[in-house]
Structure 1
Amino acid sequence: MPHTSDNLAVPIIVGPTAVGKSEVALEVAERLGAEIVSADSRQVYRYMDIGTAKPSIEDRRRVPHHMIDLVDPDVVYNAGDYGRGAAAAIEQVRAAGRVPLVVGGSGLYIRALLEGFCAGPRGDIELRERLRQEARTGGTQRLHERLAEVDAGAAVRINPNDEQRIIRALEVYELTGRRLSDLQQAGGEVQGLIAVTVGLRRERSDLYRVIAERVEAMVCHGLVDEVRGLLDRGYRPDLNSMRALGYREMIRHLTGELTLEEAAKLLIKNTKALSRRQMTWFRAMSDVEWIDIEREEDLSSRADRVVASFESRGFHPAGGPDKFA
């Protein structure tokens, strides 16, 4: 692994939701003289703080964070936008003589940063709403069948129940006349970054325990009020941002479909499922060194192991390995 004087290597911390990435990243960032570049697909939205477990103002004062609070919840934001924005943030951090530390649970966003992403068109709100209406009236399966007719490659890769990705593929085709699968094969502009990646993981039962505790804390700290406030601002329940974990469940509570207890239990269930999907994605990534988080291990020891992993593979901040001292 190249030394960072090469100006290309970037340290990355990945792992499933609730594994403890954020708290470890703060410790690691202080040791590396780093600023954190978030790779979270939900924290880009303003006003969505509790449900996305966004770092607190105090944490952001302690260590500067980038790629957070970028757009309002009704703005269409995708992996291509993230890849370009994160690359610019990394250059900004380096220009200030600091180390960029990428941290997050979105494998798609990290891939967009490291490998580039297809230069598809920006979303068209009216077209997307028309396609959503078609899904509501005719079913997602029918939309998937339509996608198979115009872009068989995308249809094979996209689950027939994944309404959001089906609509995006159809949207790209209708706006450009080109198939999303062709654009993805052509790829986007490769950022030329070399990843030094550490993955954090917990034993599954322990992770599930933390997920349940986290959901309870979110509810106690005002998640329902946060969601109510977003609806009061006029943000529709069918927006991509409002369909995120935590928000869709609490919307169902606020509309009277679920009790608060039922909504919280559903959120725990859905978060567990997300953690499994995230781990499937991250296991497919190459060159990830995994660190198992022990329940009784203190935060400093976890950070020590992450830094040691970066160091063992040749990553040192500018100035050399003594920065780790």
Structure 2
Amino acid sequence: MKHTLPVIVIAGPTAIGKTAVAIELARSIDAEIISADSRQIYRLLDIGTGKPTRDELAAAPHHFIDILDPRQEYSAGQFSRAARARVDEIRSRGKNVIVAGGSGMYLEAFLYGFFAAEIRDKKLQLSLKKRAQIEGSEVLYRELQHVDPERASELHPGDAHRIVRALEVFLSSGMKLSELRKQPRVPAPFSFQLFGLYPEERQELYDKISLRVDHMLVQGLLDEVRSLLAQGISPLCNAMLTVGYREPLHWLRGGYTYGEMVEKIK
């Protein structure tokens, strides 16, 4: 079957409704959905990642959800290579493709390419993660502002995973991640149409996020975090260094009151 539609990409902030739009569209144009979410890719992390429900997953074929153990690491480059190959596979079966997600680095690598450098220092990375847990990601963020202000300006002070990564690259190689990201990259070998979902008023989004967090807590987010720890999932895993998990972990250690934890997630 010859395809007349480009790959449709749906981006936007958390709680904006990307999943619902993607599913409705997929059913209309006979498409399958590639999830570009760097946390929904992990098994066992269900409530805190806001994964699609069973009914939603049954409404349209989804890819890249629940495919990795939380202990595994997975980079934007790995996702880009695998997702581009999956586009070809889906289209070979005569289906259209929708990519939906809020992980900016995943979408950027998938659409525009990724830099080739693979700079890793596991010992340094672990040390930085421990510091992020004990001292807080804001402390590391200030350090990143000194050594790579351009990359720091692109990140939220609470984004421990990406802050640690940027510091790991600089401290182990002396090179700025912001400069490495400017290296020539290979764009997607197919046409695509990018759509962004955004609220008319920012407060509307804040209200939606607040309601979602309240719902997650009612669903059992704290029990999910306890279960992950009981199964031997380290709080230093990249999968756990994300909003919705690192705050309950800090609360369990006595670092936050319950109210502070909820406010930090929101």
TM above 0.5, yes or no, is: yes
Answering whether residue 120 of structure 2 is matched by residue 127 of structure 1, we say no
State the match for 1:159 in structure 2: 152
Match of residue 117, structure 1, among 105, 114, 118: 114
Q: Separation in 2 of the partners of 1:257 and 1:179?
A: 32
Q: Separation in 1 of the partners of 2:128 and 2:256?
A: 27
Contact 1:67–1:85 (CA<8 Å) still a contact in 2? Answer: no
Instruction: Describe how 1:1-325 pairs up with structure 2 within 5 A.
Output: 5=3, 9-121=6-118, 123-132=120-129, 140=140, 144=144, 148=147, 155-159=148-152, 164-172=161-169, 180-181=177-178, 183-202=180-199, 203-268=201-266
Q: Residues 157-201 of structure 1: CA distance to partner in whole angstroms, max 9, x if unpaired?
A: 122856644542454467778664554222333222322122222
RMSD (Å) for aligned C-alpha atoms: 2.8
Greater shift, 91-100 or 185-194, is seen at: 185-194
What amino acid is the match of 1:208?
A: Y
Greater shift, 200-209 or 226-235, is seen at: 200-209
Q: Residues 16-67 of structure 1: CA distance to partner in whole angstroms, max 9, x if unpaired?
A: 1111111121111100101111111211111101111111222222211111
Contact 2:124–2:168 (CA<8 Å) still a contact in 1? Answer: yes
Structure 2 stretches of 5 or more lacking a match? Answer: none
* CA distance 1:158–1:185, change in 2 (3 Å): closer
Cα deviation, residue 118, structure 1 = 0.8
Q: What percent identity do the matched residue pairs reach?
A: 40
Greater shift, 80-89 or 235-244, is seen at: 235-244
Aligned length: 256
What secondary structure sits across from 1:158 in the alignment? helix
Contact 1:120–1:172 (CA<8 Å) still a contact in 2? Answer: no
Contact 2:160–2:242 (CA<8 Å) still a contact in 1? Answer: no
